[in-house]
Amino acid sequence: MLPTSRADVAHIMTPQEAFQAAERGDILLVDIRRPDEWAATGVPAPAVPIDMRAHDFIEQVSNARAFPAQPVAVICARGVRSARVTRQLEAANLTPIIDVPEGMLGSRAGPGWLKTGLPVRTE
């Protein structure tokens, strides 16, 4: 299933779509929140946690890809930071990029990863 498009980002996915695609290895799901947030809620089970504030964030994301053109999906708490990071990754030519705007905690886009009941792991 192809992610849907939105004007301010290349693509968007629901948490369920992102979970399924990450489980299949079709996308790299990156949890861009802070370590204290990972500790509080857990990390999406198939995600790689990479703090967006890291000085080498772009490099870490690039190195985490299973293959050079693997789409990168980003998730944060409520979709605000993921939209911003999507633009940064696109500017660094790490495309295609996907936003999960519901985030972990839910937003106007939907209930989020946790309320959807998707699996998490502790870091």
For each of the domains in the chain, give its residue range(s) and CATH number, in order of start: 4-53+60-113 (3.40.250.10)
pLDDT for residue 7 is more than 50: no
Looking at residue 107, the DSSP 8-state letter turns out to be B
Looking at residue 77, the DSSP 8-state letter turns out to be S
Tokens of 46: 């198939």
pLDDT tens per residue, range 14-44: 999 999 999 999 999 999 999 999 999 999 9
